Structure 1
Amino acid sequence: MHAMNDLSIHPQDGKQDEAVAQPALSRSMVRRAIFASVLGNGLEWFDFLIYGYFSKIIAQVFFPGDNAFVSIALTLATFAIGFFVRPLGGILLGLYADRVGRRRALSLLIVSMAASTLLMGLTPSYATIGIAAPLLVVLARLLQGLSVGGQFATASAMLVEYAPPGKKMFYGSFNMSSQAFALLLSSGVGWLLTTQLSHAQLVSWGWRLPFLMGSLAGPMGFYIRHRVAESPEFEALRGHDGDAAPRQSLREFFRANSDAVICAMGVIIVGAATNYVWHSYLSLYVERQLHLPLSSALLGAFVSGALNLFLFPVSGKLADRYGPYRCFYPVVIAWVICAYPLFHFVITQPTPLHLFIAQMIATVFLAAMSGAHPGMLATLFPVRNRSTGVALSYNIAVTLFGGLAPLTITWLTHLSGSSLTPAFYLIFAGLLSLAMVFFTKSGREPGVSSASADVC
């Protein structure tokens, strides 16, 4: 966003980012890079989302106990563990991607995620191996968190750096479409299993099938490593004489990019909260609070994923045309206003139809808010530390307001007894996002960015 500031602080970086001729790429290579980034990212998010859908069953298998609330809380705490390590994974893998390239980083991330998901699917139950079972689950979640910590940032950087001028938000939106693909696939598989298998079959072996499916993402990592070219902007930064880009310390990074980090976190918070409340937490909410079958939530999530495959690119195109921040403010304000009435509509008459209608409305808002997120975050940072900047800001925001959302809302609902707790959570997240973006220079003056100039 504030590339003029970056040019003044790192004049050589700016020259490299703007002046060095980028290598010509064929259309087939561009399509291959987009396809690999989107499919690889989608399969990673499938692995991550499926844990939330089967959290109640995982609680029975790995965290048995007499108190159902404690059992669920332990399962959701394990879900949150994957998010706690995401900032660390984001920093380490972001630095790696900014040093050796987006392609090699994406390859490593996908293979690591596939291995951790396979571990999750093959771990015996608590009844079989005792305390070792939940410990292995925690280990799998830690590995998943480290892997996914760098995924969004590296895939976003790859897509935006392949984008021609004026289409960075649109190209970046494919990263969000990959998450919609993951939602579509994970909810579809979850709905199929919950409707076709008995509860005993789900607990015994059915829940493991999605994790074993997710581990098949591993070969995609090798495909990216050997069949996809490095992004042209990173190649321009690296130059033709060296194998790695110039090093930069975290202190130098924060000195140059602290304003952009705050703005990027603000951009992400409301979308992360909305995504995890309406998708990951909803599967638990409809059973415990609304007393509706899990299949009702999964059907709505499946349709939401299908819609967002197309709505996210539309949102990216609109951001390219009108400017991402001109779209961001009115959409978030409208969502803050609508969040409470939407939950009230479902709670007063908790029927599958009302739930489905509310999910569709939330889907449209989520797409409008989040379609341009990858492009917005990527253009906030210069090429030399783009993956680090996006990974750090994105993962901190998602950890605090996405990964902790199910556990936080479950705890607050347990204390207050109010079924409207998720609505108040979303309102708070929206107001915080607006404040963090507005009170940063990057959010108030997006027009000063050369990256933004390319977009609009």
Structure 2
Amino acid sequence: MSAASEHVHIDKAAMRRAVASSVIGNAFEWFDFLIYGFFTGLIAKAFFPADDVFVATLLATATFAISYLVRPFGGVLLGLYADRVGRKPALTLMILMMGVSTLLIGATPPYVAIGIAAPILIVLARVLQGLSVGGEFASATAMLVEYAPPGRKMLFGSLQMCSQALAISVAALFGFGLSALLAPSDLESWGWRIPFLLGVLIAPVGFYIRRKVQESPSFVKARQGEQLTFKQLLTRHYGALVAGLGVCVVGTVSNYLWFIYMPLFVVQQLGLPFSDALLGSFICGAILFLLCPAAGWLADRFGARRVLCTGAVVFGLMSYPLFAWVVAAPDLPRLLTAQISIAIVISLIWGPTPGMMAGLFPTGVRSTGMAISYNFGVLLFGGLAPLTMTSLVGLTGSKLVPAYYIMFCAALALALIAFGTTRRPVAGTP
């Protein structure tokens, strides 16, 4: 069954609950996940003490990357679970895993109090977060797209990115507010824990909402037909996996370099206050929250591939001059101008991404297929990005390394999408 032919009758009340459960739960998961990236520098001091700040930061960014190493495993396992058992139980399990891992990060005593146990607990928490988020995007997107009316799948899918943009904005707002209200010593010793502990309180709300949602009608219908094995997914839909990887490469780089890595880059390389970078991330998150649905609507009208690839080309071309302009004379107005300009372009990438990826795979293997493409893309070009950028900037001394990286990834993404979308599913595929 293809994405285009899977139309079933959808109850509007059930549709609203499905949208709410996917968007609210996904925003909570990403808030908890992103807040670690924003506070990497402070977490490095608390749990990875070292005489050299550069070494401590590398240890913290390596821990940030660990969660991405396990994400493909979580994505495949939870994707298979969602494709075999259902979207609803998979999404419910994920939000519980995220709540436990967030509590671990927020409540673990520092290295000076419990020694080596502190970084071990942080690594364990990041592994749990990685497993949970590894399946979140695919299953939440599948639920949204499968509940969408005909001709509005890109718009409904864009709500997934709205929730991520909301998470970026709220997480950055927390960081900006705490850095403005608290003394640096207080923020370093205990203030950074506040958003993690508050994030735990949201977990019961997300769990309750997801328990109330009904299973996707498309999934219920697809379960009555032929069930593809994991091996058949890899052999029959390899083109879709490659195209999905390309979509994720450009979306991932835009997120992790311009929003998550940026606070660390701004402080260490540009010498600007931590609050400056967080203010830019907050504003950009709000912009993306507003513009992603517009991009989803454009994708429904003109085609997802056309809108996304246009955004990828402009994104790659704009990144170098914007980075060079900010690096030449670092200050808050330049930083905000660059971040806001690029956020408008990124909306053209983010808006079509969920719907386009969902449309690459039939319902019966949709969660697993998206999880594979998404998590390998995020692992290679997102999770390792802060570690890669910190290392390359330190080794080369060039502050424009992130811009070169973005240009390379944008070109690679376009090539993968072009290659993958010309490979049709193997004959006989349902």
Tell me whether the two structures share a fold, i.e. TM-score over 0.5: yes
Checking the alignment, whether the CA contact within 8 Å between 1:41 and 1:152 is kept in structure 2 is yes
C-alpha distance in structure 2 between counterparts of 1:443 and 1:55, whole Å: 41
Residue equivalent to 1:317? 297
2:401 aligned to 406, 410, 421, which one? 421
Q: Secondary structure at the match of 1:274?
A: helix
Aligned pair partner of 2:8 in 19, 22, 29: 22
Structure 2 equivalent of residue 336 of structure 1: 316
Give the distance between the partners of 1:443 and 1:268, measured in 2 at CA: 18
In 1, Cα distance between the equivalents of 2:207 and 2:326? 45
Map Cα deviations across residues 245-266 of structure 1 (whole Å, 9 max, x no partner): 8654321111111110001001
Q: 1:298 aligns with which of 278, 300, 310?
A: 278
For residue 260 of structure 2, give the secondary structure of its aligned residue in structure 1: helix
Structure 1: give runs of 5+ residues left out of the alignment.
1-12, 240-244, 452-456
1:402 aligns with 2:388: no
Instruction: Decide which of 357, 362, 365 is 1:382's aligned counterpart.
Output: 362
Q: Distance in 2 between matches of 1:358 and 1:89?
A: 35
2:68 to 83, 89, 105: 83
List per-residue Cα deviations over 1:42-96 (Å, max 9, x = no partner): 0100001000111111011000011111100000000000111000000000000
**Match of 2:244, as an amino acid?**
A
Residues 89, 146 of structure 1: 8 Å contact kept: yes
Structure 2: which amino acid aligns with 1:398? Answer: V
1:359: which partner in 2? 339
What is the 5 A alignment of 1:211-360? 211-239=196-224, 247-360=227-340
Contact kept in structure 2, 1:413 and 1:419, CA below 8 Å: yes
Aligned 8 A contact 2:28 2:206 in 1: no
Distance in 2, matches of 1:18 and 1:279, equals 37
Q: How many residues align structurally?
A: 428
Match of 1:370 among 341, 347, 350: 350
The offset of 1:227, in angstroms, is 1.2
Percent identity between the two aligned chains: 49
Query: 2:4 and 2:181 mapped to 1: Cα distance?
Result: 54
- Which residue does 2:22 correspond to in 1? 37
Corresponding residue of 2:115: 130
Change (3 A) 1:121 1:60: same
Residue 178 of structure 1 corresponds to 163
Give unmatched runs, 5+ long, in structure 2.
none
Q: How far off its partner does 1:445 sit? A: 8.3
Distance 1:24 1:262, change over 3 A: closer
Q: 2:120 matched to 1:140?
A: no
Deviation at 1:36, TM superposition (A): 1.3
Confirm or deny that 1:107 pairs with 2:92.
yes
Distance in structure 2 (CA, Å) of the matches to 1:22 and 1:311: 29
- Counterpart in the other structure of 1:207: 192
Mean CA deviation greater in 254-263 or 208-217 = 208-217
Distance 1:433 1:321, change over 3 A: same
SS of match in other structure, 1:85: helix
Question: What does residue 59 of structure 2 align with?
Answer: 74
Q: What is the distance in 1 between the residues matched to 2:215 and 2:74?
A: 21
Residues in 1 aligned to 2:171 and 2:210: alpha-carbon distance in whole angstroms: 26
Asked if the contact 2:28/2:202 (under 8 Å) is kept, the reply is yes
SS in structure 2 at match of 1:376: helix
User: Per-residue CA shift, 1:27-51, capped at 9, x if unaligned?
Assistant: 2221121111101000100001000
**Distance of 1:153 and 1:330 partners within structure 2:** 24
1:119-171 deviation per Cα after TM superposition (whole angstroms, max 9, x unaligned): 11110100000000000000000000000000000000000000011000000
CA RMSD of aligned residues (A): 2.0
How much has 1:330 moved relative to structure 2? Answer: 2.3
Shift of 1:202: 1.1
Moved more, 322-331 or 352-361: 322-331
CA contact 1:17–1:236 (8 Å) conserved in 2: no
Instruction: Tell me how far apart the structure 2 counterparts of residues 178 and 371 of structure 1 sit (CA, whole Å).
Output: 11
Taking a change above 3 Å as real, the CA distance of residues 180 and 252 of structure 1, as seen in their structure-2 partners, is same
Kept in 2: contact 1:107–1:220 (CA 8 A): no
What residue number does 1:242 align with? none
Whether the aligned pair in 2 keeps the contact of 1:17 and 1:383 (CA below 8 Å) is no
CA spacing shift, 1:246–1:316, aligned 2, 3 Å: same
Separation in 1, partners of 2:75, 2:259: 23
- Inter-partner Cα distance in structure 1 for 2:313 and 2:10: 42
TM-score by length of 2: 0.96
Name the CA distance, whole Å, in 2 between partners of 1:199 and 1:151. Answer: 34
Q: Distance in 2 between matches of 1:167 and 1:17?
A: 11
TM-score, normalization by structure 1: 0.91
After superposition, what is the alpha-carbon deviation per residue over 1:310-343, rounded to whole angstroms, capped at 9, x for unaligned? 1000000000000011112222122221111010
Q: Which amino acid aligns with 1:318?
A: L
